[in-house]
Structure 1
Amino acid sequence: MMKRLILVDYENIGKIDLSLLDISYRAIIFVGAMQQLPKAARRDSTAHRFSRVDFQKIEGVGKNALDFHIAFHLGRTFEIAPETECIVLSKDKGFDPLLAYLNKHGLTCKRIAALEELVPQKMTELVQQVPESTCNHCGRGSCIEHLGGKWCSYCGQFSHSPEQQQLPSRSIPYSENRDTNGGGPRMGTCAWCSQHTDMSDGFFDEGEWMCPGCIIENAR
């Protein structure tokens, strides 16, 4: 199987999802000196989404600093494994002359402006046939039914609000626990807004709370 390496210019490509691509693809995301790694990559509960992704943090600040890092890594990859197909994911057309030069010398590389350009047409049509799974926030087709609403497994937000009666706070175990605490509210810290507040109508998933306010905000 041919190895395919995607080199991502994170300064102008904000999101990357390899879930629609086969296992021959892996990616290196080049992160600018003033940028942070994606929030999902920093969480233990969602880090598995990046099992085929490496991050390269750029230490210096300067014009085209990130582009030069990508160009260097292209050369190093082709020196070590010239059979690799390299794909630069960037909207910067400045890469094109370099890629044309490399192709002229028998290497295989190209630039794309969106990851969807690599998705087979049949897969694209299949995704378009199920618009109900598309998240209103990140645009990915990763929504699943959860607590009567639509929850996105990619960005971790509710695309459609959950049913109030299905929230954990309405369950019998929660009510019993509330009674043992003297009938007071269940306090907790929201993983999204970091507020320590009443989680009576909050949402608990994968060890983290989302407060009622964030549920409403993220469902808009």
Structure 2
Amino acid sequence: MPPEAVEHFVFVDFENVPSVDLSLVATQSVHVTLLVGKTQRKLDTALVGRMLQLGKDKVALIEMGASGRNALDFTLAFYLGQSALRHPAAHYYIVSKDKDFDPLISHLYIQEVMVTRVASFDALPFLARSKKPATPVGKPAPDKRTKLIARLQHPENPARPSTRKALLAHIKTALGKESTDAKVAETLRELQEKNVLAIDTKDVVSYVPTPRYKS
């Protein structure tokens, strides 16, 4: 069983994404669950060695006892749900190219469980944050999230949403073509983590003043 302080839980659909480099998470606050199909008889020796090195507090291997359509998907959903009950504040990730997981992610999002699906193990978003950024050439253009944060931080902006429902719709519009339920949820989490805003138990949104705008 993973320790209570784990920040990220990753569930890998190993049938769909059989390439996993566990060295990427060796220093991260993360627990990885590899779900292996019944017909997958062999594991790469380097992967097995890394699993043994990291230990059961970091990695778990679950082998399917039966084969069948969506057998692994249902099993993954079961273990993710169990983990979410024990660690409701953690961030969850499904590593799979299978878009059939997206309705599950949308449902969990409604239950305020933050889940993101990525198509490869090295695409996990917390890995990107841990890497040293390359020296930029010139000043990069602000992305849509940066612009959204700037607008929400401005106290004279009359269009700032006052409820959770309105805020989610606002984020979805701001992200444009990039918008998915998972990205909207991730953006909302980022706004809260960056102390841009807070949402109370009645879903009322309040905005945290920034030094630039404080009177």
Q: Please, what TM-score do these two structures have when normalized by structure 1?
A: 0.50
Q: Distance in 2 between matches of 1:41 and 1:123?
A: 23
What is the CA distance between 1:50 and its match in structure 2? 4.7
Q: 1:25 to 1:11 in 2, by over 3 A?
A: same
Q: Distance in 1 between matches of 2:10 and 2:129?
A: 19
Match of 1:38 among 10, 20, 43: 43
Match of 1:6 among 7, 10, 28: 10
Q: Distance in 2 between matches of 1:61 and 1:99?
A: 23
Give the stretch that moved more between structures: 94-103 or 18-27.
18-27
Report SS of the residue matched to 2:17: coil
Q: Distance in 1 between matches of 2:128 and 2:47?
A: 30
Report SS of the residue matched to 2:109: helix
AA partner of residue 19 (structure 1): S
Match of 1:113 in 2: 119
Q: Distance in 1 between matches of 2:104 and 2:9?
A: 17
Match of 2:100 in 1: 94
Is the CA contact 2:21–2:122 (under 8 Å) kept in the aligned structure 1?
no
Q: Distance in 2 between matches of 1:47 and 1:99?
A: 27
AA partner of residue 80 (structure 1): R
Alignment of 1:12-31 (within 5 A): 12-21=16-25, 22-31=27-36
For residues 57-95 of structure 1, give each alpha carbon's deviation from its aligned partner in whole angstroms, at most 9, with x where no partner exists. 001111000000001111111122212211000000000
Q: Which runs of no fewer than 5 residues in structure 2 stay unpaired?
A: 135-215
Q: Distance in 1 between matches of 2:71 and 2:132?
A: 34
Q: Distance in 1 between matches of 2:33 and 2:42?
A: 12
What is the CA distance between 1:36 and its match in structure 2? 2.4
Q: 1:37 to 1:3 in 2, by over 3 A?
A: farther
What is the CA distance between 1:39 and its match in structure 2? 3.3
For residues 153-211 of structure 1, give each alpha carbon's deviation from its aligned partner in whole angstroms, at most 9, with x where no partner exists. xxxxxxxxxxxxxxxxxxxxxxxxxxxxxxxxxxxxxxxxxxxxxxxxxxxxxxxxxxx
Q: In the alignment, is residue 55 of structure 1 matched against residue 61 of structure 2?
A: yes
Q: Which runs of no fewer than 5 residues in structure 1 stay unpaired?
A: 127-220
What is the CA distance between 1:49 and its match in structure 2? 4.4
Percent identity (aligned)? 30
The structure with higher relative contact order (CA 8 Å, sep 6+) is 2
For residues 23-64 of structure 1, give each alpha carbon's deviation from its aligned partner in whole angstroms, at most 9, with x where no partner exists. 211211000011125132686x66534532210000111100
Q: 1:110 to 1:80 in 2, by over 3 A?
A: same
Q: Please, what TM-score do these two structures have when normalized by structure 2?
A: 0.51
Q: Distance in 2 between matches of 1:91 and 1:42?
A: 20
Is the CA contact 2:31–2:59 (under 8 Å) kept in the aligned structure 1?
yes
Q: 1:61 to 1:79 in 2, by over 3 A?
A: same
Is the CA contact 2:22–2:47 (under 8 Å) kept in the aligned structure 1?
no
Q: Distance in 2 between matches of 1:19 and 1:47?
A: 9
Q: 1:70 to 1:121 in 2, by over 3 A?
A: same
AA partner of residue 117 (structure 2): R
Q: Where do 4+ consecutive residues of structure 1 move more than 2 Å?
A: 20-23, 45-52, 121-126
Q: Distance in 2 between matches of 1:90 and 1:7?
A: 9
What is the CA distance between 1:124 and its match in structure 2? 7.3
The count of residues paired between Structure 1 and Structure 2 equals 125
Match of 2:83 in 1: 77
